[in-house]
Amino acid sequence: MPVDSLITNHYTHGSLLHSIRDGVKALGKTVDTIHIDDLGPVDEFHIGGRIATQSFLDQLDIDAIHHVLDVGCGLGGSSRFAANRYGCRVTGVDLTQEYVETGKTLCAWVGLASQVTLDVADATTMSYQSDSFDRAFMMHVGMNIDDKERLASELYRVIRPGGRIGIYDIMRIEDGDLAFPVPWASEPAGSAVASPAAYKDALEGAGFSIIAQRNRRDFSLDFFAQLLARTAGAGGPPALGLHILMGSTAPVKLKNMMENISRNLVAPVEIIAQKAA
């Protein structure tokens, strides 16, 4: 079962903001001219990046009047995208202090600091009052949370009646040993991958109704094929990209994840659920 220190140690970079500043400079931009779309390749830490985010979040029917919770927000890339696209207010939570502090700076760079709030918090024991949020989402987060029932219960508590939640996680499809390291864990002890059925059982047990589910395996394999082709064509990774977050082990992590998905051991899966009005 993953413990908090194992998770935060896996994700902590040490000089993340400095590396992103270097990437911004390599793009020929400054912190005053950088745009939210420029940051997308580095601050959307999930399969499919910005394309996947938009397709996923559009299913939540987010409105400008909504207060949205981003669970496991990382650098806050999806929080900023949601705030910018839908005009809503977003609160993001993440265990990793460096991600949250870096994310706050990025919000300031793109002028969204007043619309997006990022907090260090455990998704299974949040301090927010009950019925605080109209919508909630998590993207590639549950693989680090063993207690899916406790997570679902906490999401149900903080979502208002009639609210909708979305989960886009790497989920277990078939039995078999996964190749490690992967982007979410350096070793098996840091991984808590579960099946779509386990997620659905936890959500329904908490009181949610499942309204949609989609396996994104084919999309993910196509995404990786295009990513590899672009990287090869450019002679290396872009100035801003997920390799900054994953460090020197990025190639092997991506290789192992592609292998695990190709063998159909895991796949990125979306689940949309709703709390009764």
Q: How far is CA 208 from the centre of its chain?
A: 21
| pLDDT digit string, tens, across residues 210-256 | 999 999 999 999 999 998 888 888 888 888 988 999 988 999 999 99
Assign domain 4-274 to its CATH architecture. 3-Layer(aba) Sandwich (3.40)
pLDDT for the residue numbered 77? 97
The list of the chain residues with pLDDT below 50 reads: none
Inter-residue contact 274 to 208 (CB < 8 Å) = yes
Q: Which of 11, 15, 31, 50 is nearest to 227 (CA)?
A: 50
0.85 exceeded by pTM:
yes
Inter-residue contact 203 to 271 (CB < 8 Å) = yes
Q: Which of 108, 115, 123, 119 is nearest to 67 (CA)?
A: 115
Q: How far is CA 8 from the centre of its chain?
A: 15
- End-to-end C-alpha distance for the chain, whole angstroms: 35
| pLDDT digit string, tens, across residues 1-21 | 566 778 888 898 989 999 999
pLDDT for the residue numbered 2? 67
